[in-house]
Amino acid sequence: MTKVVAVTGASGGIGRAVAREFARRGSDVALLARGEQGLEAAAAEVRAEGRRALVVPVDVADAGAVESAVERIESQLGPIEVWVNNAFTSVFARFDDIAPEEFRRVTEVSYLGYVYATRAVLQKMRKRDSGTIVQVGSALAYRGIPLQTAYCGAKHAIQGFHEALRVELLHERSNVHVTMVQMPALNTPQFSWVLSRLPRHAQPVPPIYQPEVAARAVVFAAEHPRRREYWVGGTTVATLMANAVVPGLLDRYLARTGFDAQQTSEPRPDDQPVNLWEPADGADGRDFGAHGVFGSRSKPTSRQQWLAHRYPQVAGAAGVAVAGLALAAVRRRR
């Protein structure tokens, strides 16, 4: 059966790749974001896969507008079966260089946007006792890094919100599921459009993955939503495990390396667009697409993801192998 999927932040980056991946697998897709140029281009990609696409321009920081968007999607495409929260904005700067209104705006979009959208679609899903909400997270939902205080704060907030909501749904024995996908560094356009006060061009902390890696993880999570969260990429696993065991040591490591690791050797462009208050594709009609400028340094696949998506099979094979070795050892003793 064809599913109706809604993706926020679908005009570029992860959201754009996620929308394309769902369409490729046979879903109709509602595309939500502010930037209409990117939305129309994303819709064309969905339709190229033979699926229906609905463009819904909306600022997720406006709770009323998000509720109206949900109503429109359900009336034009049908009941929403999967909702993906992904829209965000941020500021690359030291904490002291971020104005209070900028911090508020990042929080309203990158955290409260998830809350508003979840609330709006959950009302529909609860009535049907069916549906899945995927929260696109980050390794930074657990591990804060310098120059991203606003973004890290929002991702940490999403993590707490997600856990609390998941427990409530479990208590209700609901068939509505929420899951979260913690992402690694990705080659998305955000590093060319997020408000930056860094002296050099911002970059993701290597190693970098292509957004299609993230898209496959989101679709897999939507298809297997009973797991509370998914970690994507070996670096995410290593970071979160290190943070759980030696967080103080990681603090000192990031204090030494975190500033340079998030900047290239090139100066920040003076004419770089800023999407904090307005969509980056609004001024000149530019479509940024799913990919950023770091394609030559980015990995198209993740071995960790391959194993994570085949966990039962891998675990079963490992169990059989261990049992075989144990049986062989017993026979040798005999």
pLDDT tens track for 7-50: 999 999 999 999 999 999 999 999 999 999 999 999 999 999 99
The confidence band for 283, taking pLDDT boundaries of 50, 70 and 90, is: low
Question: Residues of the chain with pLDDT > 90: what percent?
Answer: 86
* Contacts of 38 by beta carbon, 8 Å cutoff, 6+ apart: 10, 11, 12, 16, 279, 281, 287, 288, 289
List the catalytic residue out of 114, 116, 142, 151.
151
The confidence band for 313, taking pLDDT boundaries of 50, 70 and 90, is: very low
Residue 71 tokens read as 């109503």
The Cα 152–Cα 107 span in angstroms is 10
Q: Can you list the domains of the chain with their CATH numbers?
A: 4-301 (3.40.50.720)
Mean pLDDT of 54-78: 98
Question: Residues of the chain with pLDDT > 70: what percent?
Answer: 92
Our CA angle for 304, 214, 234, nearest 5°, is 25
Length of the chain in terms of residues written: 334
pLDDT digits (tens, 9 = 90+) for 197-236: 999 999 999 999 999 999 999 999 999 999 999 999 999 9
pLDDT at 1: 54
> For the stretch 39-69, what's the b/e string if a residue is b when 16 or more beta carbons lie within 10 angstroms of its beta carbon?
bbbbbebbeebebbbbbbbbbbbbbebbbeb
Residue 97 tokens read as 């260089």
Q: Which residues does residue 162 pair with via DSSP β-bridges, in sequence order?
A: none
End-to-end Cα, the chain, rounded Å: 56
pLDDT at 170: 98
321 has a pLDDT exceeding 70: no
The Cα 131–Cα 121 span in angstroms is 9
**Is 151 tagged catalytic?**
yes
